[in-house]
């Protein structure tokens, strides 16, 4: 928006003023919002008009209307100010009781659903101004090595698209800080009264129709790898993109679905489901909270790691 020579005469407060006027659509209301006089707003707008070589706002009986150029600048200015506010908030001593930061966490839904309730309850008590965004993570299709299966999560962390990723892996690249939250295995969920609950054998299992959680629709997962090692396979009748949806479908069908044990303990009863142990050994997963090592200099991020660990401890071990 400004070239290098312009930056020497730029005033960040003018961008704040621009934001207020374009959002309020009125000089007087913008002045009230910024706690300055309408005259100061008008003088600031004059400086902006000279700097940007555009009228920016046209007066009307009801206020002001943004020009096409002003509308074009509104999104970049909002982004610039958001970044500046983020830098300033992280530069100040972090006080969770007073902070108004937003943190973005990435996790598979079968993981975020385990820690989120306890995390929100603790935030309400000790950090009421902090907001959380959750984005769903699922592994790359066809990748079995954890470092490659979760590479998109690692890329997003380094790009600061999210603050912390929680991934089911203990194999974390050395450039990241990681903390083990808990260990998890999978159980088989089905509707109450299902025949498999009475006879949970491997032979019965492979004869059933199965529901598989897969973001991209790939029906082949770690359960199938375990079956193939025994020369067996199963019918994957349906794939759905997340575990909560899988529970809803399983509650209204005869399909079986493998789900994380802690997740099942919390949510399976809500959908009228029962669970049994898998009829063959399945891998256990270490749930690791991960962030770039350089990012851990942020006191707020370090605090959030502790909050995540506490939230998982509140839930207790699977089955408790």
pLDDT score of 216: 75
pLDDT score of 90: 61
CATH number of 4-91: 1.10.10.10
Same fold, 4-91 and 186-277: no
Q: What is the pLDDT of residues 137-195, one digit of tens each?
A: 877 766 655 566 788 898 999 988 999 999 988 889 899 999 999 999 999 999 999 99
Q: Which positions of the chain have pLDDT values less than 70?
A: 1-10, 89-92, 141-148, 315-320
- Give DSSP secondary structure letters for 233-298: --EEEEEESSHHHHHHHHTTSS-EEEEEHHHHHHHGGGGTEEEEE-SS----EEEEEEEEGGGGG-
- Find out if CATH 3.40.190.10 is the number for domain 102-180+292-315: yes
- Measure Cα distances from 54 to 8, 47, 61, 64, 234 in Å: 20, 11, 21, 14, 67
**C-alpha dihedral (234, 236, 241, 242), degrees to nearest 10:** -50
Question: Tokens at residue 226, please?
Answer: 């375990």
CATH number of 186-277: 3.40.190.10
Instruction: Round to whole Å and give the CA distance between 250 and 236.
Output: 13
Question: Tokens at residue 21, please?
Answer: 């006027």
pTM comes to: 0.68
- Domain chopping of the chain, boundaries: 4-91, 102-180+292-315, 186-277
C-alpha neighbours within 13 Å on the C-beta side of residue 292: 15
């Amino acid at each position: 928006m400004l070239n290098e020579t312009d930056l020497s005469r730029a005033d960040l407060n003018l961008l704040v003023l621009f934001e207020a006027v374009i959002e309020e659509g009125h000089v007087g209301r913008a002045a009230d919002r910024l706690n300055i006089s309408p005259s100061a707003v008008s003088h600031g707008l004059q400086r902006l008009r000279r700097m940007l070589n555009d009228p920016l706002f046209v007066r009307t009986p009801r206020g002001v209307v943004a020009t096409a150029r002003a509308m074009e600048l509104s999104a970049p200015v909002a982004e610039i100010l958001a970044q500046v506010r983020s830098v300033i908030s992280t530069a100040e001593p972090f006080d969770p009781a007073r902070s108004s930061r937003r943190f973005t966490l990435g996790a598979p839904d079968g993981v975020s659903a385990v820690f989120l309730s306890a995390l929100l309850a603790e935030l309400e008590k000790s950090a009421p101004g902090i907001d959380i965004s959750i984005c769903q993570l699922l592994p790359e299709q066809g990748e079995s090595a954890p470092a490659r299966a979760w590479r998109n999560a690692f890329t997003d962390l380094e790009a600061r698209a999210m603050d912390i990723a929680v991934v089911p892996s203990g194999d974390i690249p050395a450039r990241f800080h990681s903390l083990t939250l808990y260990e998890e295995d999978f159980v088989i969920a089905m509707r109450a009264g299902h025949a498999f609950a009475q006879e949970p054998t491997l032979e019965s299992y492979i004869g059933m129709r199965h529901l598989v959680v897969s973001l991209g629709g790939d029906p082949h997962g770690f359960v199938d790898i375990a079956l193939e090692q025994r020369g067996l396979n199963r019918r994957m009748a349906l794939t759905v993109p997340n575990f909560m949806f899988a529970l809803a479908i399983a509650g209204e069908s005869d399909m079986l679905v493998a789900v994380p044990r802690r997740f099942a303990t919390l949510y399976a009863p809500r959908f009228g489901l029962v669970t049994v142990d898998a009829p063959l050994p399945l891998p256990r997963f270490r749930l690791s909270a991960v962030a770039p090592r350089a990012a851990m200099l942020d006191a707020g991020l370090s605090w959030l790691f502790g909050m995540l660990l506490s939230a998982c401890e509140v839930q207790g071990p699977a089955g408790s």
